[in-house]
Amino acid sequence: MAGNLELLSDVIARAKAENRAALVGYLPAGFPTVDDGVRAVTAMIEGGCDIVEIGLPHSDPVLDGPVIQTADDIALRGGVRITDVIDTVRRAHKASGAPILCMTYWNPVDRYGTERFAADLAAAGGAGCILPDLPVEESEVWRKAAEQHGLATVFVVAPSSRDERLAKITAAGSGFVYAASLMGVTGTRESVGREAEDLVRRTRAVTDLPVCVGLGVSNARQAAEVARFADGVIVGSAFVKRLLDAPDLESGLAAVRTLAGELAEGVRKRA
């Protein structure tokens, strides 16, 4: 069964045609449990997310902040496995029809088997994979398997990436480019926002792929700010925090759905 790279591209293009950015949500699989995680992802999409990234929980999530690390720990203590991650993708896509990606460090994929992981993710209806720690120079085996199964390979770029490096990374990717840039805390957000906008500008100079900005967006105003210059706005920790802070699951699901609605409104305002 082919993956959903085309669906992913269509959804981002449709958002652009509506003169807005796509809203991309993130949640680790197995959090709070596998079944409840599927319900949470469905609530995110019902609330207004166009695309969802399912995280593969890792024992050493070096690129994730404390909120996502907490959720990963809960999932791992709950016994989540790679098969559960793929099952989450399958069930979330089947319930919503939305493009669902897997975000994972490279080591679990390598151990599971590159070809096997790509085949299983595609069979589950997955749209692709975001691999934040896989160097482009070492990605050929994965990219071949992904292409064969109709999956996007999304690479991450950062403000520290030089233009030559941006060109190399984006030439190897598909689906979209993940531009990682923290919004920062009060008092620094303006300057960090400019840095994110500059990264998007430099990335667009070397690729026709859509550029989605992630890390740090937590409310509608920030979503509108990023939507002004990006093709997509990625939100993760804010969704996880709503579930962590909720007194019970039903309250958490309602909070996630509400946040998705607020953010969806934000990306349509394009501040």
Q: What is the dihedral of CA 119, 122, 51, 108, to 10 degrees?
A: -10
Strands 152-154 and 156-157: unpaired
CB-CB contact of 241 with 205 (8 Å)? no
Q: Specify whether 53 is catalytic.
A: yes
Q: Strand runs (DSSP E) across the chain, as ranges?
A: 22-28, 51-55, 100-103, 128-130, 152-154, 156-157, 177-180, 211-214, 232-235
Spatial neighbors of 196 by CB under 8 A, at least 6 apart, are: 159, 179, 181, 183, 213, 226, 229, 230
The one catalytic residue among 50, 53, 120, 225 = 53
Give how far Cα 25 sits from Cα of 4, 41, 251, Å.
17, 8, 18
Q: How far is it, in rounded angstroms, from Cα 157 to Cα 202?
A: 11
64 a catalytic residue: yes
- Does residue 132 have a cis bond before it (omega within 30 degrees)? no
Residue in 10, 18, 60, 64 annotated catalytic: 64
**Residue 139's closest CA among 109, 179, 111?**
109
Which residue, chain included where needed, has tokens 């690390």? Answer: 69
Query: Which residues are annotated as catalytic?
Result: 53, 64
